[in-house]
Structure 1
Amino acid sequence: MLEKTIKQPIRLVALDTEVFDKANFNFQSKIFQKLIELVRAEKISIYLTTITHQEISEHIHRKAKQAASGFKKLHKDFREQAKIIYYSSKYQKLLNLTLEEEELMNELREQFSDFIEKSQIEILSIKTVSPEDIFAKYFKSIAPFHNGQKKHEFPDAFALAAIEEKAKKENRKIYVISGDKDWLEASNQSEHLIYKESIDKLLEDIIAQESDEIDLCYEIFEDNLEEIKEEISSIFIEGEFSLSDDFAYGYLEPGSEYIEVVVDVINIIDKSIVDINNQEVEYPIITFELKIDISYTAHISYDSTEYAFWDSEDHAYYNIQNVTEKLKQKIVISVELEILLFRDELHHLCFNAIENVDLDTNGSIGTIVLVDEGFEENQEELDSCFSPDEYDDN
């Protein structure tokens, strides 16, 4: 007699604008591509409300405007500092670089539309939502109403109501994905909505139902935690660090700074398994999404003009002093970690190697700015880190 397998029902999933903001509108990210894969495998169906769709489009516009404005300011400063390259055949073109707000906005909106098409997203209208019901919740301070931020709470209220109506119509529960705690409170008050704070948590639920080895994967993670932290640490210190514009109260001689970063502590705040790649049956790759905080010490050396004097004839500062100090900072980041496993002679999963670590999957970290606060004197230690000759005035 043939065994019959029971096919899992398709999960209904509604996404909040916060999901896209958090991903920095990176529609090519592994998370969004995984959603497309699950839709095509008929494991999930995805919904957006018309309000959410409009919000995402507007956020793309705002971010594009912000990027264009920031680039314009930076490029203006660059042109002032880089006049020497005006007659360079190789680098002169850098002076004419532009970032067009409308072009960037249209490109990202097109990527958004492409993601909607590939993931077969259904857009839910709010036309059937009763304004009277929404205002009743408002006057009674029922979630998402409670902070008095009416401008932000009303769109959420209409979006959640449209999702709940869809759930009732389908006689199904709908997963709502959002890092917004208002959505959590509203979902807790509805028998039709299941709250998940991120796509990661949704993917973990799906994987847990399909694999009986997920607990073992977490055990392997914990058993190799120190090696994982060391790998994250080594990649982190190779990142880009810079000093804030007002560093050293404006007495910093540009280009003189030297930064060496040491990781003090790495804490794993949260972890989720978002993918199990079984293409190589004996060597599966497990993808974790981690939320971590990194406490680190930045050892800094720079030339200070605080007590220097300007020679107008030589067009140079004299009596520049080299300063060596350190500061401690902390940053919270998301990490994508891939671990390669193998199966032993008993077919049990075992750790093989760290396949890949990505500390900036959505390009949201960029250059980490060091702020001139909380400095500590550390002259003896820093003298051993920096060669005095390296910073002598010429």
Structure 2
Amino acid sequence: MSVPKHIFIDTSIFDQFAFNFDSPRVKPFADALPILDLTLVDPDPIFRERTRHLKERVETIIHSIEKIEKTLPLIASLENWPSTGYFHSYKIRQLINGSMEDFLSKMKYVKIGYEGINIGKIMTWYEQGIPPFGKGKKNKEFPDALSIAILDRFSTNQSCDIAVISNDSDFEKACSRRTNLLYYPSLAAYLQVHQSESERVRIIQEWADENEGAFDELIEEQLGNLEYEFDQYVQGEINDPSLDHVSISELYVVGLAEKECTVSFEVEIGFTVNAEYEDESDFEYTPEGEPIGPVSHSGMISSTVEGSALAKISFDPKNNKAIGVTFVELDLPTVLVPVSELW
């Protein structure tokens, strides 16, 4: 278990400290980089957005200088006054770019493009308002959606979790639906989780031990999405699955964020279904001995299925305690329903 070593930093974070890498918002994180051994995953849409914001920041600085000169022309005669013009705007841009390059040089850097991205899936997110899409202006968040898809694909291909550092609530909502993307609202939040890692793991594991039924409701919601088959070749239907019991073992904390964590565990699920089927190996006959058709069976069948799962548990960092399970993803084989239970 570890805090993700692969990180993504949203443009909103750079905007917070205005690309001033001496700001208290970023300096403790930057100072810790030599010992953190991190890899920055930089999707092309965010790279382009950050570059544009940096250029706009320089233009804002130049505009501010020009405004001061117009308000007080005498100030331009000062020996060290940074008069505007192409040369000085280039110098300012060079200064900020240099600070950015110095910051990035303390991490392994991976810039990721669009290869393998499923545009159809992104359009489905758009049509259904799935984060980072939303209502109003949020229904046009295509750069963010592309970035989420790129991060998700990279995480899957590299078999790694990614820390998503952003103060954009849409990134937070998108991460809440994915166990491989862990959300942090700031660089400081990510750094703090590193410092309290062992204690957080202990708290989560103790909470899970004391709240054995915490996963049941979300697991039961997924029963209807599982694939069910009879364990013998018969024709019939399986409907209305309901939960009987859940048994969890081998629970591990596999990812930490500021206000949530990801856990993996083995699970045994006891369930009951309403089953109807015809047994073609057993025919009904008329009193005269004429075959009517296969014998029909119907009733409730109870059984169990075993598999693994990932889940997200919300966490209250202020009070240092787990709150509850917010998401469960089951990895189960096709559920076999024993027909012998109705014989």
Q: What is the TM-score of this pair, normalised by structure 2?
A: 0.52
Offset from partner CA, 1:15-40 (integer Å, 9 cap, x none): 11111111211224455454455443
Q: Distance in 1 between matches of 2:17 and 2:142?
A: 24
Shift of 1:76: 1.2
Q: 1:202 aligns with which of 184, 187, 190?
A: 190
Structural mapping, 1:250-269, within 5 Å: none
Q: Secondary structure at the match of 2:141?
A: helix
- Aligned partner of 1:265 in structure 2 is none
SS of residue matched to 2:98: helix
Please point out which of 101, 121, 127 is paired with 1:139.
127
Counting only pairs closer than 5 Å after superposition, residues 274-313 of structure 1 correspond to structure 2 as none
Distance 1:70 1:37 in 2: 31
Query: Of 7, 11, 27, which residue of structure 2 is paired with 1:17?
Result: 11
Instruction: Indicate the structure whose relative CO is greater, using CA pairs within 8 Å and at least 6 residues apart.
Output: 2
3-state SS in 2 of match to 1:176 = strand
Q: 2:166 aligns with which of 164, 178, 190?
A: 178
8 Å Cα contact 2:7-2:38 kept in structure 1: yes
Do the aligned partners of 1:10 and 1:42 also contact (CA within 8 Å) in 2? no
- CA offset at residue 170 of structure 1? 2.4
**For each residue in 1:233-291, what CA deviation from the matched residue of structure 2 results, as whole angstroms up to 9, or x when unmatched?**
xxxxxxxxxxxxxxxxxxxxxxxxxxxxxxxxxxxxxxx9xxxxxxxxxxxxxxxxxxx
The answer as to whether partners of 1:10 and 1:43 remain within 8 angstroms in 2 is no
CA distance in 2 between partners of 1:102 and 1:35 (Å): 28
The residue that corresponds to 1:169 in the other structure is 157
Distance 1:134 1:33 in 2: 36
2:4–2:163 Cα contact (<8 Å) kept? no
Residue type at the aligned position of 1:130: N
Q: Residue in 2 aligned with 1:63?
A: 57
1:122: Cα distance to partner? 1.8
Query: Cα 1:9–1:144, aligned 2, differ >3 Å: closer, same or farther?
Result: closer
Matches within 5 A, 1:1-394: 8=2, 11-29=5-23, 32-79=26-73, 82=74, 92-93=77-78, 97-99=82-84, 100-149=88-137, 153-209=141-197
In the other structure, the counterpart of 1:369 is: none
For residues 176 and 140 of structure 1, the distance between their equivalents in structure 2, rounded to whole angstroms, comes to 23
Residues 135 and 200 of structure 1: is their aligned pair in 2 closer, same or farther, counting only changes over 3 Å? same
Contact 1:19 1:177 in 2 (8 A): yes
Instruction: Give the greater-gyration-radius structure (CA).
Output: 2
CA offset at residue 74 of structure 1?
1.2
**Structure 2: runs of 5+ lacking an equivalent:** 201-257, 259-343
In structure 2, relative to structure 1, the CA distance for the partners of 1:98 and 1:151 (3 Å cut) is: farther
Q: CA RMSD in A?
A: 2.9
Change (3 A) 1:26 1:69: same
- Between 56-65 and 24-33, the greater mean CA deviation after superposition: 24-33
User: Secondary structure of 2:179's match?
Assistant: coil
180 and 66 in structure 1: CA distance in 2 versus 1, 3 angstrom threshold: same
Equivalenced residue count is: 198
State the partner residue of 1:308: none
* Contact 2:29-2:188 at 8 Å conserved across structures: no
Give the conservation status (yes or no) of the 8 Å contact 1:39–1:120: no
Task: Report how far residue 150 of structure 1 moved.
Answer: 6.2
CA contact (8 A) 2:3 2:194 kept: no
Q: Report the 3-state secondary structure (helix = DSSP H, G, I; strand = E; otherwise coil) of the residue aligned with 1:149.
A: helix
Percent of aligned positions with the same letter in both sequences?
20
Q: Structure 1 residues 200, 131: closer, same or farther in 2, change over 3 A?
A: same
